[in-house]
Every structure is written in C-alpha cells, then in structure tokens.
C-alpha cells in the first residue's frame, strides 16, 4: 500500500509570518477533514521558516520538507545547510534535484546522489526530482533522460534505501508554465519509472516506492492526475501558495 503524498513546494516564497498565517488556516481546514488519515500532507517552506513551522505544527500531522541540503554534515561550506541541521530544525522530507536547482545552481546527477545519501543517513525522506525538458521530449529522449537521472541519482543505494526514497516526476516544460502533462502522458512516464526501478531493485521494492507528479498541478486537474495507478501524489508549486487552492487539491484527491 502506497500512502499518497500531497506536497507543496513553496520555492522562494513567503516570509516566516506568511508561512505561519498559511499554516494556521491549513490546520483549521484539515481538522474538519479526514485528509490526514488518507494522505501525507507535506509543506516545503524556506529554510528560515522550518523551525518556527515545527513549533507551530508539533501536534499536527502536517510534515515539514526542506527544499535542498548540502551533503557534508558540517564544516567550511559558507551558505550551506546540512542534513543534521535540517533534522534538528524539524524537517522530515527534503526535495533533492529539483529542475530549478539543476538549471540555476549547477546541480548534477552526481551531487544529487550525494545529497540523497546524506538525507537517508539522517532518516530524512528524499523527494528526488527527475524530468525532461521540452526539447528532450520532442527529440524522443524521455526514456534515456529519465534513465540517466535515476541511475545517477540512485547510484550505490541499496534496495532498502530506495524504498525510503520518494521520486517526483516533474517534466520541466510543465513547471510554472500552466501546461500540465495529460494524465496519459504523466502515467506513461510514471509507469516507465516504476519499471526502471523494478529492473534495478526488484518489483516488490518498486511497488512500494511513491512517485509524485509535479508541474502545474491545480484543483482543476489534480483529480484526474491523482487517479492514475502509478501517480502516488503531487508536488505542487504555484497552487500550494494559497490555502484554498492547496485544500482544493487535497479535497479533489479525497
């Protein structure tokens, strides 16, 4: 049984005050719904809001996610934040290898791999992002791009490690563009990812790994995406910034 995850990636948005305001509204809404018995609800705020969020949510089922980490535990790495620091602040998940980090901050499959290992070492669940650009899709390269990202990102991980990892398929052309993959396009790649995982780690292990879809998910398209057999939740950017839209997606998933 794969418990679906509905996750909001806030990217570089919201001050600490705005984060807490949003969470108060979300907590009230969730109390009136049975959503948290069916899904894991996850929010990825800015680093500086994580600790305050953890205090506010100490009795809440809503889980905290970081948007990145650095792979060393501590040392002379100005500006970076490590897995033990995130653990201490209250993060249970961490997004790794988001396409924006690959595009703007030189993230590679090899740095992604080190970051996934660092997260797992501290029992933080990595949400490992993969996805092709439009040019790659149009050139018929989806399978080879995803295979390269998966193999590189999961290098030297045991099957047990991989079952603790969440994969997010985020086609780059669908992120922040309003262009969502159709449910058929998304399901096709999710199935492909599961088959690749099965080939490398065995079907039983592949069957427990959650694969989220991300890319312009909103209340009007979430239901059909989330009803696909290999789509185990969503990683939501823009539509996770407003409580009513985020709750709309959670309700559609119910």
Q: In the annotation, is 170 catalytic?
A: yes
Stretch 151-180: interaction string toward ligand 13P, x if CB under 6 A:
-------------------x----xx----
Q: How far is the CB of 116 from ligand 13P (least distance, A)?
A: 16
- CA–CA distance, 12 with 101 (Å, rounded to integer): 12
Q: How far is the CB of 128 from ligand 13P (least distance, A)?
A: 12
Q: Cα 154 to chain center, whole Å?
A: 16
Q: Between 66 and 239, name the residue whose CB sits nearer to ligand 13P.
A: 239
Q: Between 126 and 237, name the residue whose CB sits nearer to ligand 13P.
A: 237
Q: How far is the CB of 59 from ligand 13P (least distance, A)?
A: 27
Strand runs labelled E in 33-90: 40-44, 63-66
Q: How far is the CB of 222 from ligand 13P (least distance, A)?
A: 10
Q: Give CA angle at 246 (35, 86), nearest 5°.
A: 85
210-239 binders of ligand 13P (CB under 6 A): 214-217, 235-239
38-77 binders of ligand 13P (CB under 6 A): none
Q: Between 77 and 105, name the residue whose CB sits nearer to ligand 13P.
A: 105
- CA–CA distance, 113 with 116 (Å, rounded to integer): 5
Find the residue with minimal CB distance to ligand 13P. Answer: 237
- CA–CA distance, 149 with 239 (Å, rounded to integer): 26
Q: Between 238 and 243, name the residue whose CB sits nearer to ligand 13P.
A: 238
Q: Cα 12 to chain center, whole Å?
A: 15
Q: Single out the catalytic residue among 100, 107, 132, 170.
A: 170
User: Following DSSP, what letter does each residue of 194-240 receive, concatenated?
Assistant: HHHHHHHH-HHHHTT--EEEESS--TTTHHHHHTSTT--EEEESGGG
Q: In the annotation, is 98 catalytic?
A: yes
- CA–CA distance, 214 with 196 (Å, rounded to integer): 19
- CA–CA distance, 202 with 183 (Å, rounded to integer): 26
Q: Single out the catalytic residue among 98, 100, 107, 187.
A: 98
Segment lying near ligand 13P (by CB under 6 A), choices 35-43, 147-155, 187-195, 209-217: 209-217
Q: How many CB atoms lie within 10 A of CB 37?
A: 8
Q: Between 187 and 245, name the residue whose CB sits nearer to ligand 13P.
A: 245
4: CB partners within 8 A, 6+ apart = 38, 39, 40, 210, 226, 232, 233, 253
Q: Catalogue the active-site residues.
A: 98, 170
Binding residues (CB under 6 A) for ligand 13P: these are 9, 98, 170, 175-176, 214-217, 235-239
């Amino acid at each position: 049984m794969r418990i679906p995850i509905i996750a909001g990636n806030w990217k570089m948005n919201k001050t600490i005050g705005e984060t807490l305001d949003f969470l108060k509204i979300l907590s009230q809404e969730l109390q009136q719904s049975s959503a948290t018995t069916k899904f894991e609800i996850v929010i990825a705020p800015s680093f500086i809001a994580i600790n305050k969020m953890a205090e506010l949510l100490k009795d809440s089922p809503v889980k905290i996610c970081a948007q990145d980490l650095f792979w060393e535990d501590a040392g002379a790495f100005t500006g970076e934040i490590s897995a033990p620091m995130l653990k201490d602040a209250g993060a249970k998940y961490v997004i790794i290898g988001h396409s924006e980090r690959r595009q703007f901050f030189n993230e590679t499959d090899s740095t992604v791999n080190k970051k996934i290992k660092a997260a797992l070492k501290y029992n933080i669940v990595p949400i490992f992002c993969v996805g092709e650009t439009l040019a790659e899709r149009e050139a018929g390269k989806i399978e080879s791009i995803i295979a390269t990202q998966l193999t590189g990102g999961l290098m030297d991980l045991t099957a047990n490690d991989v079952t603790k990892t969440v994969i997010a398929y985020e086609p780059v052309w669908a992120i922040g563009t309003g262009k969502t993959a159709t449910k058929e396009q998304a399901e096709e790649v999710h199935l492909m990812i599961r088959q690749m995982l099965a080939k490398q780690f065995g079907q039983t292990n592949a069957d427990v790994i959650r694969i989220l879809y991300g890319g312009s998910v909103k209340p009007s398209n979430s239901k059909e995406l989330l009803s696909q057999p290999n789509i185990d939740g969503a990683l939501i950017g823009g539509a996770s910034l407003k409580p009513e839209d985020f709750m709309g997606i959670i309700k559609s998933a119910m």
